[in-house]
């Protein structure tokens, strides 16, 4: 196999893999609760965060 064909196949493979990983990426949402604590999650609606004792 010549080197230019190998470069084209490699570039195409990397491009396809990059597109696939972007398609499977989920959004991450950020919200601040009533106590001022910042939370992150994958749900668009901010959940009711229970207050935890430390």
pTM: predicted TM-score of the whole model, two decimal places:
0.40
Q: What pLDDT score was predicted for residue 53?
A: 46
pLDDT: is 30 or 1 the higher one? 30
Q: What pLDDT score was predicted for residue 40?
A: 84
Bridging pattern class, strands 29-32 and 38-41: antiparallel
Diameter of the chain measured on Cα atoms = 65
Sketch the domain layout of the chain as residue ranges. 3-41
pLDDT: is 51 or 41 the higher one? 41
Residue range 5-21, pLDDT digits in tens? 899 999 999 888 877 76
Task: Say whether 51 sits in a helix, a strand or coil.
Answer: coil
Task: Say whether 23 sits in a helix, a strand or coil.
Answer: helix
Q: What pLDDT score was predicted for residue 54?
A: 39
CA distance 43 to 15: 29
């Amino acid at each position: 196999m010549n080197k230019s064909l190998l470069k084209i196949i490699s570039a195409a493979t990397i491009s396809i893999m990059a597109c696939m990983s972007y398609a499977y990426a989920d959004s991450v949402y950020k919200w601040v609760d009533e106590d001022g604590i910042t939370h992150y999650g994958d749900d668009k609606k901010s959940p009711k965060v229970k207050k935890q004792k430390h």
